[in-house]
Amino acid sequence: MTVKGNAQITLTDVTDIKATTTYYKLQDSSLAPPAAPTLNPPDGWSTTEPTYEGGNTDRLYLVTQTLWSNDTFDYSDVSLSSSYEAAKAAYTKAQGAQNTADSANDTANHAQDKAAAAQQTADGKNTVYYSAAAPEGNLITNDLWIDTAHGNTLYVYQNGSWTVTKLGHEAIQSIDAGTITVGKITSNQIDASNLKVQQIYNRDSNCRAQIGTATYTDSNHQTKTGSGIQLYANDQYVGALVAEILASGAMFNLTFVSQSGKSCVQLASLYDGSGNFVNDTISISAEDQSRNLQSIHVGKDLNDAGIVITAGDQRYSNLQSVRVAGPGSNNPGIYITSSNNNIQCIDGQTDDGDSSQHWHKFSNGILHQWGRVNSTCSATSAYGSVYLKPNCGIWLPLKFECSKSKPTIMLNLVSPGILTAVNAQEANDGESVGFTISSPTRVSNLSYAAYYDTWGYWK
């Protein structure tokens, strides 16, 4: 007997939903919406839905996680919580309504105050007028008129006429204003952090100080203009006090100038390139109508001397001078120079005097060289508030022996502009003087005369 059979079995693996979970994330409204998470559980998300707190402007985002029976998971798209946004909108409307109510209440209180004030004025039987023309008619004593045609000037009606009234300082303890425009202020004291004025007057005399600029002739025949204070007596100019910075951070001048501008007393403070104090100098100069200049200089920057007394015309080296150098200088002693540039009362050799450059050799090895060299300058390189022309130089008639001691150098520039020589020092192993020219403005091919006076050693 034959038995035949046929059977088919189909097996199916079905993945079912195991769980769904909603996650919440509250963040600043200025940030971009967050991306759907990729971890389980998601980082930075919470299963607890936060409640809205009044005034909070953050945004609440939500995402749904589906966990399958095989423990895999998916996330829905991130969406904005509509219920949280609705709570915010409701709070905003409620707050606006509260503000409107508060404003209405303030307006009502203000109206009530004005009504009370009006009633008080009516009870006192006085009237306050606010007009451009003087009120007329049934006026009584102590009525007030605010004159709108003249800056709200206040008048009081007394003795049959309107009289201007002023508020005393007891009524106005202080005024807080950005700008106050007045014709005159009378006060025992003005207390201010900054007082910006052009002229200051003495109350009991016709003397004043005018803040501005002043022009004067210094001890080197240079005409200078600086910021300062001009002084007047009985409306006549009598002199000035001028403040200057001649080299940025290196030379500061305070100058007392005469009425003519031809005489001055100058106090100078010198600093090195590192900002260290070097020394102070004092110069007193007086010029006559022929431009002959007499001067006294105290300080080490001129020929390394203690005191130099000069009489004559320094522009053309037509002068007499006495130089007193103290024990602390490189060349101590007393030296007298005559009008023909010859050294008196000392030994040694002197040049023939035929050129504008001169020298004198002393038997003790000291070498004195001085004179004038004409040249031009183009200062175009800006350095802070000044323009500089570096690598300028003057070749000397004789060479200094620098191995023993560096020569001392005094150098002044005379020109149509305001040129100053800075950092003057020996160069080319004692054969020349090197320096930098400083100018407050950009100059090109400006002519100048360099007057130098140097002391050192020839052996």
pLDDT in tens, 198-241: 666 666 667 877 787 777 776 666 677 777 788 888 778 888 88
Instruction: Provide the residue ranges of all domains of the chain, joining segments of one domain with +.
Output: 15-124, 128-164, 203-278
Is 351 within 8 Å of 317 (Cβ atoms)? no
CA angle 89, 94, 96 (to 5 degrees): 95
Taking phi first (over 0 means left), then psi (-120 to 50 degrees means alpha), and beta for anything else, what does residue 380 get? Answer: alpha
Residue type, 17: I
Segment 396-424 shows an average pLDDT of 90
Count of C-beta atoms within a 10 Å radius of residue 298: 16
The per-residue pLDDT for 338 is 58
pLDDT in tens, 280-295: 878 787 777 666 667 7
The per-residue pLDDT for 314 is 47
| More reliable by pLDDT, 98 or 325 | 98
Q: Length of the chain, please?
A: 459
Q: Cα separation of 125 and 144, whole Å?
A: 12
Q: Cα separation of 263 and 215, whole Å?
A: 11
pLDDT in tens, 338-379: 555 444 445 567 776 678 899 888 877 888 999 999 999 999
| More reliable by pLDDT, 141 or 324 | 141
Which pTM does this prediction carry? 0.39
Taking phi first (over 0 means left), then psi (-120 to 50 degrees means alpha), and beta for anything else, what does residue 431 get? Answer: alpha
Q: Cα separation of 255 and 214, whole Å?
A: 10
Q: Is the pLDDT of residue 313 over 60?
A: no
CA angle 450, 456, 459 (to 5 degrees): 135
Residue 118 has φ and ψ, to the nearest 5°, of -65, -40
Kindly report which listed range (9-13, 64-68, 133-137) carries the lowest average pLDDT score.
9-13
Kindly report which listed range (12-26, 90-104, 245-259) carries the lowest average pLDDT score.
245-259
Segment 283-312 shows an average pLDDT of 68
Residues 6+ away with beta carbon under 8 Å from 157: 139, 140, 141, 142, 143, 144, 145, 163
Residue type, 170: E
| H or E, element range at 106 | helix 82-123
| More reliable by pLDDT, 277 or 449 | 449
Strands (E), 380-442: 381-383, 386-395, 408-414, 420-427, 432-439
Q: Is the pLDDT of residue 72 over 80?
A: yes
